[in-house]
Structure 1
Amino acid sequence: MKRLLPSILTADFLNLTSDIQIMKDSGIDIIHIDVMDGVFVPNITFGHKIIEDIKKHFDIKCDVHLMITQPEKHIDNFINAGADVITVHIEASENIDSIIEKVRQAGVKIGISLNPDTDVQLLKRYIDKVDMFLVMSVFPGYGGQRFIKETLDKIDTLVKWREESGLYFDIEIDGGIKKDNINEVIKHGANMIVVGSALYEGGVFTLEGWGDVN
């Protein structure tokens, strides 16, 4: 099932409560939260407390994308905060297997992400170990970047592996998704579509014109 996941990276945080309520009223049941440390990526965003606060006030799932170095040092905080999905970058740690084991033991879904210039073949050994792969279609760090069309080849490869193996895993894409390219992304096989700045026209969150994606 294809799903649209609003990213709160470009949200006006003074309006976040009302934005999430609009999301829920529109049928959105999961949101995407980008955690950045200023080291793995140049930007700094927020930590696990934002998840705690969202969970305190809303019955909504949190898809947490860790763009941080040594994510293994912080995994427990995000598990305890209530993350429903935790995704780590294959480029960010040499301990991916132990991270997968810890997250799975906690009953939380686990994903692996890769940057646009990372070889998708590095993911193949994990196809029977994770719940999701996240393909970055921009270089991570900031919202509002141009979609890198060549990353669709990675989606094609993941779909092929899924079909050949008989395994199921979600395929998520994040970066530069807009109304004029979302259908192409879905056609290639991504079923978890993260949309950020394009949902905040004039700084105001809106799902108008996005059709029945969710």
Structure 2
Amino acid sequence: MTKVSPSILAADFANLGADIQKVQKAAMLHVDIMDGHFVPNISIGVPVVESVRRCTDMFLDVHLMISKPQQYIDIFCDAGADLICFHLEAEGEPETTIRMIREKGKKAAVSIKPGTPVEAVFPYVKDLDMVLVMTVEPGFGGQKFMPEMLEKVKALRAYAQSENPSLDIEVDGGVNRETAKAAVSAGVSVLVAGSCIFGAENPEEMVDYFSSL
């Protein structure tokens, strides 16, 4: 079964607790943190993560789209993150950032933007729980899926077979019924989906669909 990580970026923040209850069957919950510097948008911060943690025991997949992730590892871990995903393109030595996450007892993941060669993440694969391959330019929801990114997924899955067979590969951006099938076929094990889940008439049904792929 495929893991599903509904992105709360597409939820109704006036009714966030209620929206989260609609996707409780998902394997995890995706939380996008944007600083307005690393990406041209600002989303949410620590207080929202703390609030989400209080209203659900779901696994929190926290994606830091910020320039200086090392400054925020501790506070987001303490706020309730179960996994911290930082960008390879962000400031700081990746080895150090991974170690900081591990020292907090959390799972570690790295994300790469569409313009970053997948080979850039290979040196860290053995030390990671997950790699997030962005299938849109990070920063805004509702963008169109970039199918050429699936070549990165295939290359990463092939590399991980010997270095870290249990590595999760996640995609984020433009995931819907059609693109999800292609992603899973390429080797994706975690699907981030926002609009097509929280915008659906029956979000739980969408979670079930993605999980079945």
TM range (shorter): over 0.9
Q: Could you tell me whether the CA contact under 8 Å between 1:90 and 1:112 is conserved in 2?
A: yes
- In structure 2, the CA distance between the partners of 1:205 and 1:114, relative to structure 1 (3 Å rule), is farther
Q: Deviation of residue 207 (structure 1)? A: 3.6
CA–CA separation in structure 2 for the residues paired with 1:166 and 1:115:
21
Q: Secondary structure at the match of 1:94?
A: coil
TM-score (norm 1): 0.93
Q: Deviation of residue 168 (structure 1)? A: 2.2
Q: Deviation of residue 167 (structure 1)? A: 3.6
TM-score (norm 2): 0.94
Q: Secondary structure at the match of 2:144?
A: coil
Which of 15, 24, 39 aligns to 1:41? It is: 39
1:36-185 correspondence to structure 2 within 5 Å: 36-165=34-163, 167-185=165-183
Q: Which runs of 4+ in 1 moved over 4 A?
A: none
CA RMSD of aligned residues (A): 1.6
- In structure 2, the CA distance between the partners of 1:166 and 1:197, relative to structure 1 (3 Å rule), is closer
Amino acid at match of 1:201: G
Q: Could you tell me whether the CA contact under 8 Å between 2:177 and 2:210 is conserved in 1?
A: no
CA–CA separation in structure 2 for the residues paired with 1:200 and 1:128:
34
Residues 4-57 of structure 1, C-alpha deviations (whole Å, 9 max, x = no match): 110011211012111111111xx2241000000000001100112212111112
Q: Deviation of residue 106 (structure 1)? A: 1.2
- Of stretches 52-61 and 158-167 in structure 1, the one that deviates more from structure 2 is 158-167
Q: Deviation of residue 166 (structure 1)? A: 5.2
- The equivalent of 1:22 in structure 2 is 22
CA–CA separation in structure 1 for the residues paired with 2:93 and 2:124:
13
Amino acid at match of 1:94: G
Can you give the 5+ residue segments of structure 1 that lack an aligned partner in the other structure? Answer: none
CA–CA separation in structure 1 for the residues paired with 2:156 and 2:47:
33
CA–CA separation in structure 1 for the residues paired with 2:57 and 2:207:
23
- The equivalent of 1:213 in structure 2 is 210
Percent same amino acid at aligned positions? 38
Q: Secondary structure at the match of 2:8?
A: coil
Q: Secondary structure at the match of 1:181?
A: helix
CA–CA separation in structure 2 for the residues paired with 1:102 and 1:5:
24
CA–CA separation in structure 2 for the residues paired with 1:150 and 1:170:
19
CA–CA separation in structure 2 for the residues paired with 1:7 and 1:168:
23
Q: Deviation of residue 201 (structure 1)? A: 2.8
- In structure 2, the CA distance between the partners of 1:210 and 1:80, relative to structure 1 (3 Å rule), is closer
- Count of aligned pairs: 211
Q: Could you tell me whether the CA contact under 8 Å between 1:172 and 1:192 is conserved in 2?
A: yes
Q: Secondary structure at the match of 1:45?
A: coil
Can you give the 5+ residue segments of structure 2 that lack an aligned partner in the other structure? Answer: none
